[in-house]
Amino acid sequence: MTVQRTDVVIIGAGHSGLAMSRRLTERSIDHVVLERGAVAHSWRAERWPGLRLLTPNWQTRLPGGGYQGDDPDGHLAAAEVAELLAHYARQIDAPVQQQTTVEQVRADGDGAYSIQSDQGGWNARSVVIASGANSVPHLPDCAAALPSTITQVTTRDYRGPTTLPEGGVLVVGAAATGAQLADELARAGRRVVLSVGEHVRLPRDYRGRDVFWWMDRSGVLDERFDEVDDIVRARHVPSPQLVGSAERRAVDLAALRELGVELVGRLGTVRDGVALFSGGLANTVRLADLKAERLLDRFDAWAAATEAPVDAAVDAPHRLEPTQVDPSPRLMLDLQKQGITTVIWATGFRPRYDWLDVPVLDAKGRVRHEGGVVDAPGLYLLGASLLRRRRSTYIDGAAQDSLELAEHLAAHLQSSPRESALAAGPALV
């Protein structure tokens, strides 16, 4: 099979891979983008129709492109995100090879990488991993203990309330996705029990502005990875309990409780068809409330120091009401006796790197890197949570991340011609 040569192979044609393609084109660096499906495959095939971005449309910014519609404060649906990225790929003339699954990446011994796919091979001086961090749904061990009569669905497979069996639903996980699913199911008339672990509570709006406006302007999203205490833990903090909707409604636990959603603690295990939950729900919600208060205090301090242009009609600081939970939430739930026919696992994802034959994975299978510079010369990571800044977690972060990593990559190529030994690139600042 013919092996093609190029300077850089980018794996993944989502927002991160396309942003890097744009940066490399700006520097006249030869490259190819390999995508297992169509452009924005995960948004097309692995999201449910009702999903919308947490961030407002104006924040869907990419280098040389992004949102150009007439609803900057709205929130794009999954299909709209896919179309935006497809348009962006055409706009920047990204060299995407679609329907190409990477099967192996390995160092070839002469300062380059060998990339094998189901459509042929490449030899490249550098590789950018932009395949996303949400490859494989993470299921707790107790999933195997559920009775066979219970339908189990991951957030990747969920497509809407009407696709589930009749009956009650246990949603496990109360980050953004779990909260949105509980909201959607409750509004469809389903009985919903939500198992709540660590979560991030935020108001959709604060003092007349979207909460992401505050985080963007106050500098929260620009905090660098090397300024964050316990960066490993910070990269795994759940996404905030927010939903994009025309009504700008809340989906925090208080709002879900008003819809009739029953809140229980973190799922511990399942025994003989009975789900057992932690008794720490009250402490869990109290901690989330406290962290939300601290963030709003930070917004207020910034507004006072800068005379920020907040809405005069609601200029005064206001606070969220403390989250109320039942004094004695249930600790046990007999799924069949209580009419629970479906369990939805909103327990997150983990990356899949079984194709990466380079010794750069830690004990938990995560790529070792410093701000996207992987622990192997010429190898880079894009699109991971808090990669270089807090905004890296969102589409908006790809512009700055790709700019800085492209600069590092270009210096690496310059210092490491193919015929010479591979040398590490300069440190990022």
pLDDT in tens, 200-219: 999 999 998 999 999 999 99
**Tens of pLDDT along 104-152?**
999 988 889 999 999 999 999 999 999 987 678 999 999 999 999 999 9
Q: pTM of the full predicted structure?
A: 0.92
Q: What is residue 411's predicted lDDT score, i.e. its pLDDT?
A: 97
Q: What percentage of the chain reaches a pLDDT higher than 70?
A: 95
Q: What is the pLDDT of residues 355-369, one digit of tens each?
A: 999 999 999 889 999
Sequence spans of domains, the chain:
3-135+351-415, 138-345
Is 70 exceeded by the pLDDT of residue 313?
no
**Res. 421: pLDDT tops 80:** no
Q: Which two tokens stand for residue 305?
A: 């120091």
**Whole-number Å distance between alpha carbons of 129 and 78:** 23
335 — pLDDT class (breaks 50, 70, 90): very high
159 pLDDT band (50/70/90 cuts)? Answer: very high
| Residues 347 and 94: beta-carbon distance below 8 Å | no
Least confident of 26-30, 97-101, 133-137: 133-137
- Computed over every residue of the chain, the mean pLDDT equals 92
**Mean pLDDT value across residues 282-306:** 95
Q: Domain 3-135+351-415: give its CATH superfamily.
A: FAD/NAD(P)-binding domain (3.50.50.60)
pLDDT grade for 314, boundaries at 50, 70 and 90: low
**How large is the average pLDDT for residues 51-69?**
93
What does the chain come to in residues? 429
3-135+351-415 and 138-345 share one fold: yes
Q: What is the dihedral of CA 37, 173, 356, 83, to 10 degrees?
A: 20
Predicted pLDDT of residue 298:
95
Please say if the pLDDT value at position 423 is more than 60.
Answer: no
pLDDT band at 427 (very low <50, low <70, confident <90, very high): very low
CA-derived radius of gyration, the chain: 23
pLDDT at 66: 86
User: 387 pLDDT exceeds 70?
Assistant: yes
Q: Which CATH number fits domain 138-345: 3.60.70.12, 1.10.10.10, 3.40.630.30, 3.50.50.60?
A: 3.50.50.60
What pLDDT score does 419 carry? 44
pLDDT computed for residue 247 by the predictor: 82
Higher pLDDT, 429 or 62: 62
Which of the residue ranges 5-19, 172-186, 255-269, 307-321 would you say has the lowest mean pLDDT? 307-321
